[in-house]
Amino acid sequence: MSLQAGIPSGILDGDLLQCEDVHRVYPVKVSPLFRNLLEKPGDPIWRQVMPDVRELRDEGPLAMEDPLGEEARSPVPNLVHRYPDRVLWIVSHVCAVHCRFCTRKRRWTRPVALNEEMIQRALDYIARTPAVRDVLLSGGDPLMLSAAMVDDLCSRLRRISHVRILRVGTRVPFAAPERITDELVGVLRGHHPLFVNIHVNHPREITPEAREACARLADAGIPLGSQTVLLRDVNDDPSVLEELFVELLSLRVRPYYLLQMDLMKSTAHFRTGVSDGLRLLQRLRNRISGLALPQFVVDLPGGYGKVPLLPQAVEKIEAERIVFRNYEGRRCSYPLVEGEGPVLAKLLGKDG
């Protein structure tokens, strides 16, 4: 499908027409609700879902196809075992929207099909790995599956005695809230303890429809959290994040993570400095409730896991890199924006 076919008439311009090449490499997908939220090129919704020619210019050692090392940590296809007691299971390759900063863009045109054989291999791995007590259903977006399919997957996981916690990572309540039906909510409610973590990046995504979707989930006793990716020229502003986090809390959605951008190829134009996130949260601390403040974390390249941006997680700061020590005590370096080393050292109390 051409790029223009999926976008409302009247919103195209000459710059967008040059993005057909991007669309062929990284296909555009925009939900009906997000299409209605588009106002003009460059607005916060536009930047998240519409193509940018810079996506094809991002090359070099920091432009990674699999920045989190998921493929190397997949004992069976679509199952990522990165931490000792939990696994991430990619149960769908379909999303409501294609986020242009997605860490799994490599899968947009090369999905690994979910079929019964793949499902059974994942379930068999989990069943024979008693250390796994927490399963995160991810994708794509698991809530793009039918309610019956979600019920079947959760039911089969619940038959594994050592699986205690089920989690769902989704963007559906804000991007396609019409999918949060009574049937789906009933299915999720039937598999407690089950947690839903929702991806949302900007207060304009909090529409009346999204409010209703969150209310349905919360009223069913499903704990809701959020994760927000820090994105240049989208939400790297304290007033934007303040409005987002406070509004989320009013919806009974606990802000959980503010995520530093992954080093995914084609996404460098979204990346902020590590120090930017720290400064933003420092500006918000005590201005808003601690309940509304998420953890700022970096998901380390190569699959080393998430680390919070706290002084004790940082071993040293150099001119061009920050060296972390992860939960296993292993060192991993992360690149810094030019000139931010001294600023970051001061923010973290590592300036000697």
306 is catalytic: yes
285 is catalytic: no
3-class DSSP assignment, residue 56: helix
Q: Spell out the residues 6+ positions from residue 107 whose beta carbon is closer than 8 angstroms to its own.
A: 90, 93, 140
In a domain, 133, yes or no: yes
In a domain, 312, yes or no: no
What CATH number is given to the structural domain containing 245?
3.20.20.70
Taking the chain (352 residues) in runs of 10, the rounded mean pLDDT of each run is 56 62 91 94 94 90 89 95 96 96 92 90 98 97 98 98 98 98 98 98 98 98 98 97 98 97 94 93 90 93 87 84 85 91 86 62
3-class DSSP assignment, residue 195: strand
In a domain, 169, yes or no: yes
Question: Is residue 99 marked as binding?
Answer: yes
334 is catalytic: no
Tokens found for residue 109: 């045109």
CB-based contact 11:36 (threshold 8 Å):
no
CB-based contact 136:225 (threshold 8 Å):
no
Q: How far apart are CA 283 and CA 246, in angstroms?
A: 14
The strand ranges marked E within the chain are 79-83, 86-90, 134-138, 165-170, 194-199, 224-229, 253-259, 295-300, 305-308, 314-317, 321-325, 331-335
pTM above 0.85, yes or no: yes
Burial code of 86-103, b = ≥16 C-beta within 10 A, e = fewer? bbbbbbbbebbbbbbbbb
95 is catalytic: yes
pLDDT at position 1 is 58
DSSP letter at 319 equals S
How many CB atoms neighbour CB 331 within 10 A? 11
Q: Active-site residue among 86, 133, 156, 232?
A: 86
19 is catalytic: no
In a domain, 306, yes or no: no
In a domain, 191, yes or no: yes
Q: How far apart are CA 341 and CA 186, in angstroms?
A: 50
Q: How far apart are CA 169 and CA 29, in angstroms?
A: 19
**Of 132, 125, 113, which Cα lies nearest the Cα of 79?**
125
83 is catalytic: yes
pLDDT at position 18 is 67
330 is catalytic: no
Work out how many domains the chain is built from and give that number. 1
Strand order, beta sheet including 331-335: 314-317, 321-325, 331-335
219 is catalytic: no
In a domain, 83, yes or no: yes
In a domain, 39, yes or no: yes
3-class DSSP assignment, residue 179: helix
Q: Active-site residue among 47, 66, 102, 151?
A: 102
**Of 336, 348, 323, which Cα lies nearest the Cα of 260?**
336
Q: How far apart are CA 176 and CA 145, in angstroms?
A: 12
Q: How far apart are CA 258 and CA 247, in angstroms?
A: 15
Residue span of the structural domain in which 142 resides: 4-272
CB-based contact 191:155 (threshold 8 Å):
yes
Q: Active-site residue among 52, 66, 151, 262?
A: 262
By residue count, the chain amounts to 352
In a domain, 317, yes or no: no
How many CB atoms neighbour CB 15 within 10 A? 12
Q: Active-site residue among 83, 121, 125, 254?
A: 83
**Of 317, 277, 316, which Cα lies nearest the Cα of 299?**
277
Q: Which ranges of 159-262 does DSSP label H, i.e. alpha helix?
A: 172-175, 182-189, 208-219, 238-250
299 is catalytic: yes
* CA distances to 65, 89, 137, 196 from 180, in Å: 32, 21, 16, 12
Q: How far apart are CA 78 and CA 57, in angstroms?
A: 29
Q: Active-site residue among 141, 299, 304, 334?
A: 299
pLDDT at position 9 is 52
Backbone angle region of 140, left / alpha / beta, with phi > 0 → left and psi within -120 to 50 → alpha: left
